[in-house]
Every structure is written in C-alpha cells, then in structure tokens.
Amino acid sequence: MSAAAPRRDGLLRRLRANPTIPAIAAEGFLTRLGFGMVGFALPLYALHLGMSLVEVGALYALHGVVVLAVKPAMGWAADRFGRKRALVFAISLRCIVGLLFVFAWLPWHLYAIRILQGVMTAARDPSASALIATHANRKGVASAFAWYFTARDVGHSLGAAAAGLLIAATGAYPVVFAAAFVSSCVALVGVLRYVREAPAQAEHEREARVEPLAQARSFRETYVPLLPVFGFGLLVALTAEMMRGIFPIVAVQYGHLTIAQAGIAASASSIAILAAGPAFAWLSDRFHRGVGLTARSIANTVSSGLYIFLPGFAGFVAGRMLDDAGKAAFRPSWSATLAEIADADPARRARIMGFLDLAWNVGEILGPLLAGALMAAFSVPVMLGLRMALSIGTEAYAFVLFRGRAHG
C-alpha cells in the first residue's frame, strides 16, 4: 500500500499539471455513450418510419458527405481561432443534435439532423486530434491516442447495449435520444473546465520557430506526398464502414437475434477494446506502426467470415468483438502516424491531420452505400464476402506501403 501511494500521487500530479488528454478522453466516453445509443437505435428507427435499406445506407452516407465537405474548413478554423474553441463548438452542436433527435418523426427530419451531425464531426475530429498530438509525450503518442479511442469505443459499446435494452423495455426511441443529449451536455462541462489550448510556453516557441517554413510550403508540397497514406486509410475505412449502422439490421434479419441480443452483442466488444487499444498502441510506440495499422483489415476479414458461417448470437458476439478489437488497434496507430507527419508543420497541424483523416470520411460515404446496395440487390453473405475480399487486398497494399517503415 505504501509503495502504491507515491505512484498514485505522482499520477495525480501529472493529471493536474496537464489535464487535457484525460479530459478529452472523458468527453469521448460520455458523448460516445450517448451517440452509441443513437447509432444503434437510428437504423432501427429509420426502418420503423418506413425507410428502405438503401435509404438507411444513404442516411449514414450523408453524414460522411457533410464531413468530407466541411472538415477542411473546420481544420483551418481550429488552427486559426483555437483548437479548444473548435472542440467546444463541436460538442455544443452535438448537444443540440441529441435534442433534435427526440423530436424527429419524419424521414426528412433524420436527414436534416444528420447534416448537422456531420458538421459537428467535421469540427470535432481535427481539433481533438490536434489537441492530443500537442499535449502528448513524443515517445507515447500512440498510447495517448489509445486511451482516448479506448474511452470512446467502450462508451460506444455500452451505449449500444443500453439502447437495445431501453428499446426492448419501452419501445420508445425518443428515450434513447434524450439520453444522448444529457451525456453530451455533461461532456461539454468537462471540456470547458479542463481542456487547455497548449501545455507549455515551450510548445508555442517550437511552433513559432517552424511557422515561417510552414507558410513557405505550397499546397502541392504539403499534401501530394500524403496521398499514399490517404489511400491506405480509405481502403481500411471502406471495409470497416460497410458494417456502420447496419450491424443491428444484419444481426436481427440475418442472424435472427432479438433487438436486446443485438445490443448485447454490440456491447460485448468493450472487453476486447479495453485490451486491444492499449496493447497495440504500446507495440506501435516501441516497435512499428504497422503492427496496429494492419490489424484492422485482418479483423475485417475474419469477422466477416464469422458473420457468414456462424449466424447466431455466439457468431455475432465473436465477430463484433473482432471488429471492434481491430478498430481499437488501428485508430491509435493511425492517429499517431498522422501526428508524426503533422509535426513537420505544426502551424497547420489540425489541417494536415484533418486532411489525412478525410480518408475515413470517404469510407463512411462509400461503405454504407455499398453495403446497403449489395444487401438490397443480392444478400447479406454477398456483401460480407466482398468485404472479406477488399480487406485481403488492403493487407497487400499495407505490406507494400509500410514495409521497413519504423515509428518516429
């Protein structure tokens, strides 16, 4: 007990000295808890309102289209006016979105709210990523992102379970949306209180020294060399996002799970997330970024096979655990890679990280549209089979791109 006390006191001192990263992680948990509930309930609610599978896919793709269109401007705004201000704006808008869902009862309401949600995501992602990259220890960037994404993913999984149980118990979708509104408001208070723009004067001095060089670089010099990494992110996102929003539908209609069982299957992955995120981030920081970057495609391949050949509660639990474990392994290494690239141009940190992360947003557009169209025209197994094939191709591309590339 006495040996643990100094370590505990040291941890508390570090948190008080730099509370930004734990505060952003707490925000990620709270908002994803609520919007994990929304993400699970929304496709089922859309079907309840009479929308088709293709329309549900378009509903999710619309969010990606808005993010793709708005994120470059939001990255510029975060660099220009302050990353904390951009984050506060984003979470405030998320509170409004949660409240609007409560009163949505027509299909066009859902489309309009998804547009606002896309603006919120476009403002939130570059600012949060840039803040973590600025405050993180240089030798533990992936680990800093791992705790952030682990908190988000656990919140998302628990939110899915809560939504399934609430819908099964009450049959009232507005109850789920109201919970998302409350959790976002709590997260906003924490960000206002604890998030700081920069950790120390030294960081300002470092950015000031680099900024003249950054301003001299042309658009072509800044962004064209990033396209191979962008392409890899797009391929990973395409296969990952094919299950975005449609997991409850596939689980209920193809796996023959109840809504409550589908929610439990989605939440069971929190165990895998807790283990995979920090573990793969540690490996990424100490050995090679590719360890975490390729895990996502492997998980996509194996999980798709489980959904096809083991339909039922056990198969969907195992598949969802693999899917989310792969995501937990990928995102910290991906964000750490973006942070390292952006370190060469700190005055444009949010813009560069936002541009590369647009690959994920393009995948958010194409993935749900492709999955919905394949399910409507053919079947669930055809959709999952194509997902497996694309994931294998992505692994081959990753081998070429990251071969011999060490971290840092």
**Measured between alpha carbons, how far is residue 407 from residues 142, 178, 234, 389 in Å?**
10, 43, 21, 28
Domain enclosing residue 345, as ranges: 17-194+220-402
For the record, the structure tokens of 319 come out as 């598949």
- Classify residue 200: in a domain, yes or no: no
Number of domains in the chain: 1
Tens place of pLDDT per residue across the chain (408 aa): 455 555 554 445 555 656 788 888 888 888 888 888 888 888 888 888 888 877 887 887 788 788 888 888 888 888 888 888 888 898 888 888 888 988 888 888 889 998 998 888 888 888 888 888 777 776 777 778 888 887 887 788 788 778 888 888 887 888 888 888 888 888 888 888 888 876 654 444 444 444 444 454 556 666 777 788 888 888 888 888 787 767 888 888 888 888 888 877 777 766 777 777 777 777 777 776 666 777 777 888 888 888 888 888 888 888 888 888 887 788 888 788 787 777 777 777 777 887 888 888 788 778 877 888 888 888 888 988 998 888 888 888 877 776 655 444
For the record, the structure tokens of 132 come out as 């973590």
- Classify residue 213: in a domain, yes or no: no
Query: Which pLDDT tens digit goes with each residue over 210-259?
Result: 444 445 455 666 677 778 888 888 888 888 878 776 788 888 888 888 88
Measured distance CA(14)–CA(267) in Å, rounded: 32
Using a 10 angstrom Cβ sphere, with 0-12 exposed, 13-18 middle and 19 or more buried, the burial of residue 396 is: exposed
pLDDT of amino acid 208: 46
For the record, the structure tokens of 384 come out as 């999952």
- Classify residue 3: in a domain, yes or no: no
- Classify residue 306: in a domain, yes or no: yes
Under a CB-based contact definition with an 8 Å cutoff, are residues 40 and 95 in contact?
Answer: no
- Classify residue 12: in a domain, yes or no: no
The CATH number that applies at residue 353 is: 1.20.1250.20
- Classify residue 205: in a domain, yes or no: no
Q: Which residue has the tokens 């405050």?
A: 135
The pTM score is 0.70
List, as one string, the DSSP characters of 264-285: HHHHTHHHHHHHHHHHHHHHHH
Measured distance CA(155)–CA(275) in Å, rounded: 15
Q: Which residue has the tokens 């948990």?
A: 29
For the record, the structure tokens of 404 come out as 């011999």
- Classify residue 199: in a domain, yes or no: no
- Residues 6 or more apart whose CB falls under 8 angstroms from that of 277 comprise 146, 147, 149, 150, 153, 328, 329, 331, 332
